[in-house]
Each structure stands twice: as structure tokens, then as C-alpha cells.
Structure 1
Amino acid sequence: MKIVINGKKYPLAESLQRATLNDLYALKLQTGMGMKSLRETLQRMKDYEDQADFLEEAENMQAFRGMIWLCRRAAGEFLTVEEANNDPLVEIGFENDEEAPVAETDPKAQAGSAPDVEPVPAA
């Protein structure tokens, strides 16, 4: 899943996984949340039919702000939490990842077998 801000796409899972200890410390200082509470709060987002309802609670809003900040930071945008979240809500959305096409395998190839290699001539 990606978050889209002003038309730019940021990968959610990858961005959260790339957070450094410095990022996590700054996140805690600026939002009061650690990574565990951030993830748990964001997981609850899917329980809301309307995102506006999710943003009614301060903890949820802080998690959303932290997620946007971490995504932008992972993309090389070194902004404060306030700067990273200064976009209108109408410019923020989500996009599901497209399913990767399934590669067809050669039925003759067996798992663990060596690839086709020309034999080495005997000396």
C-alpha cells in the first residue's frame, strides 16, 4: 500500500521498516508515539468506515501525522512533523499495490536442479 501526497507516492511498509533509531527518537519526541503504538493505531484505521471519524481522536491523528512524516523522511525529505503534514487532506490518499504477475515456470525445471549449462569438454 502507498500513501499519495500531492500526487507523489510513498510506500508505507517500506518507509516504516527503513526508520532509523534517530527517526524513532524524533518521532517519539514530536508525536509522543513509538513504533509499536504507531503501528497499532494505524491498524485500527481500517475499522473506521470514514477516515474523518478516525481523525476525530487525537492519538489517531498523531499516528497519521507520524506515518506521513516517516514516509516522507524515508524518501529523503527532511522535514519537521509540522512541515511534512502541511498539505490539505484532499491531497492525501491511499493506493493499493498492484498484484505482481505470477511468473510461469518451466514444468521441466525442477526445484533445486542446476540451470542448463553446456558440458565442459574433457581435457
Structure 2
Amino acid sequence: MSAISAYLDPLALPIYQGRDQSFALEISRSDIEADAGQIDGIAFCMKQHGAMPDADAVIRKKLGAGITLLADSDPEKVFFCVDLTAAETAALSVLIAYPWDVSILDSEGKLRPVDGLAGKTVVLPRVGYTAG
């Protein structure tokens, strides 16, 4: 499984088609508290285009189902990992820029996008070696 620290360049998450992928991300506690959200309400969404409703997203993850909390002891940030399976990445079209974002569940039960945790991912073809 490859790991990419997305917070270094949140606008570019490269994904290789047909491979397991993990992305380490961080969210500030002030972003969570500003929306009266909870850490357990973190969600990741990837769509074919930005106008697509969340319900129709090509990939959706939430804490405990594709999102793992990595560290919760920092007083200013929460670190978490988004895991994509090989089956999920195999279903994505190559060389397409899919918009993605991270949201938190607010006190009203609505998902609110987190500023600075959004961008695009480009799906790259799987280049492999077959022993013969």
C-alpha cells in the first residue's frame, strides 16, 4: 500500500488504478469546533465532477469505514488516514481529475466541507511487470 502525505500538497492526490492507496490527512481542531462538529463525523468524498451530489459520489468514506484516526493527542490537529481499496481504484477512469473533499458532521447532522481540505486527484494507469 502506498502512503502519500496529502497535507503537503492537498490539491494533487495521485491514484494508481487498481492499487490500494492510503492518504494521510490532517484537520485542525479549530475547523472542527467552528462547525460544532465531532471528530467521529469526518468524511471523505470523491466525485466525477464538483456539481455531483454527495450521494452519487464515486467514493465515499467515513470514520470507521475507510477512514482511520491516526492521532488524536495533538492539541491543535487531528491526523487521519483515508484508505482506498484496489477494487475502488480499479473502477476509476484513467487520466480523469476527480474532485475530492473532506467534511465534518456538524451539530445539525449536516456534512460541512472543511476549508483547505479539498482538491483533485488524477488517476494514473497501473504500469506493472508480469514475469513470464
Answer yes or no: same fold by TM over 0.5: no
Instruction: Please give the TM-score of this superposition, normalised by the length of structure 2.
Output: 0.29
Larger radius of gyration: 1
**Which has more helix, going by share of residues?**
1
Instruction: Please give the TM-score of this superposition, normalised by the length of structure 1.
Output: 0.31
